[in-house]
Structure formats: C-alpha cells, structure tokens
Amino acid sequence: MYTRANLKTLMLLRAVRWIRAKVVQKVERLLLRILAAGPVPKHVAFVMDGNRRYARLHHQHINEGHSEGFTTLRRMLEVCMRLEVRCVSAYAFALDNFRRSPEEIEHLMNLAHDKLMEMSRHGQILDEYGVRLNVLGKTSLLPGHVQEAIRHVESATKNNNKAILNICMSYSSQDEMTTAVNSAVRLSLEKSNPDSCEITEDDIDAQLFTTLAGSPPVDILIRTSGVKRLSDFLLWQCAENTQIHFTKAYWPEFGLWDFIPILLDYQRKIWSKRIL
C-alpha cells in the first residue's frame, strides 16, 4: 500500500517523465525541420535485420522481436514522411525465409496480415501522409489471408499520391531480375521481329517491381544489426549511386538518432558534389 509520501514521489516521477518526453519530442521535430531544409533522399530502403537477436538479448520470444520490428517500421516511416522522403522500401520477408520453422513463419504471416489491415484503416499513417502501399515479391506464395490483406491495403491506398511504401515480402532480387528479364523479352517479341529482338538495361529496369510501383532510384540503403551484406535485396537498384550504410543497432531499437548521422552523411556528399 502506498503512503502519501510515496504517492507524491510517484506523481513527481510521472510528471518528470512526461516533461522529458515532451522536450525530446519537440527537439526531434525541430531536428527534422532542420534536416528537411537540406538535400533529402527521394528513396530510402531498409533491411530490417536483427529482430530475433534483439528478442534473445532481451530474453523475449522471437515473435516479440518481430512484433517490435513492425513498430519500428511504422516509426521510421513517420520520420521519413516528416522529412518528405518520397519512397520507403522495407525488406520484410525474403524468399529464403520460407526455410524457417513453421511456427515462426505462421506468426510472421499473421503479424503481416494484422499490420497491413491496421495500416489500411482510415486515419492511420498511410492515410495521414497520403502514402500508397505496394507489396513487392512473389505474393502468390503467401497464405490466402495475407494475399487478401495485400489486396485490401493496396486498393485502399491506390489513390494516395504523396509518397510510396514498398513492403518486400516473399521477395528476392534475383527473382525480381529474372521476372523483369522475362517480361522485357515478352514485350520486345510482341513489338518486333524475333530475329532482331534486343533487350537493353532500360528495358529490364522498366520491368522491375520497384519501377512498376512508381519508385524513384534508391538513394540510401540501410541494414541494421551489424551484418554487412545485402542478402539479395534491391541488387539491381543499388548498382550505381546508392549510398549503403551498415549500422550495429538491431532493427527494433533503430530510431531517429541512428538515422541522423546517415542522413547528414548523405547531405554532406550531395553538397560536396554540388560544390565540385
């Protein structure tokens, strides 16, 4: 049972936390306004790595790590929207992830379904910032209820034209490039003599999932958890001018203060090019 002194102390601590949270919130908003005044990337891509290791580190079930990972995605999407980044892509589920345990896959699919339906509701973040959501990948391999959620959220956001969110599920870059080449060949054969059929890089680029979704070139790709590889994510799109950053933070703990140094580095390099 709390004494009057204990209650006063508790109320004081809550007040201090509330004030501190408000101060941090105002500082973050000010920082975002300042950063938005400089060169801002049009397309930021995230390899959301480290959910399972984060869960183990905090003595949680792996499923809790994945759930917190989706929360981080929403938080970083809002940061990017405040910066007026036009497109965000997130690597949510690789084709290779189908090799994981049935229990983990089932949880991930149910989580994806619930979060997609949640984001599609009126007044949620996609509606607030005018974001069109695309799910890119071999979606025919996903469970029926997830495919239904994808159709629902893509239909609900199809008229949003301020920004784009690409969720890459059942995705691999090699599969994307193979699909793009096949589509380019088929279109070329429909337009020309088979004997003179020639496929260019532009033909393939035009058939990539990201291009068909209306996405601009990738300016920044970030992989969390300290692992330094792309894991078959946006390999074609990152072939030329993309700035690639590897950060030690696990994805569930990644936030604005991890993103700021990456954004400042991007702005520094852009200004350097302009000066030269």
Residue 155 has pLDDT above 80, yes or no: yes
**Which residues of the chain form beta strands (DSSP E)?**
43-47, 87-94, 131-136, 163-171, 220-223, 243-246
How many of the other CB atoms lie within 10 Å of CB of 194? 8
pLDDT score at 194: 64
Tokens of 102: 């049935």
pLDDT score at 81: 95
Half-sphere exposure of 160 (CA within 13 A, CB side): 26
Alpha-carbon distance of 40 to 219, in angstroms, equals 9
Alpha-carbon distance of 252 to 100, in angstroms, equals 20
Summarised one tens digit per residue, pLDDT across range 97-116 is 999 999 999 999 999 999 99
| Contact status, residue 244 vs residue 238, Cβ threshold 8 Å | yes
Summarised one tens digit per residue, pLDDT across range 127-138 is 999 999 999 999
Q: Output the CA–CA distances (angstroms, integers) from residue 196 to 188, 202, 205, 238, 242, in the order listed.
A: 9, 17, 20, 30, 34
Where is 186: in which H helix or E strand? helix 173-191
pLDDT score at 25: 66
pTM as predicted: 0.88
Length of the chain: 276
| Contact status, residue 159 vs residue 126, Cβ threshold 8 Å | no
Query: What domains lie within the chain, and their CATH numbers?
Result: 39-267 (3.40.1180.10)
Rounded to 10 deg, the angle between the 256-275 and 62-82 helix axes is 40
Summarised one tens digit per residue, pLDDT across range 20-72 is 655 566 777 788 888 888 899 999 999 999 999 999 999 999 999 999 999 99
Summarised one tens digit per residue, pLDDT across range 225-272 is 999 999 999 999 998 889 999 999 999 999 999 999 999 999 999 888
pLDDT score at 216: 95
- Which percentage of the chain shows pLDDT scores above 90? 75
Summarised one tens digit per residue, pLDDT across range 190-206 is 877 666 678 899 999 99
The model's confidence at residue 1, banded by pLDDT at 50, 70 and 90, is low
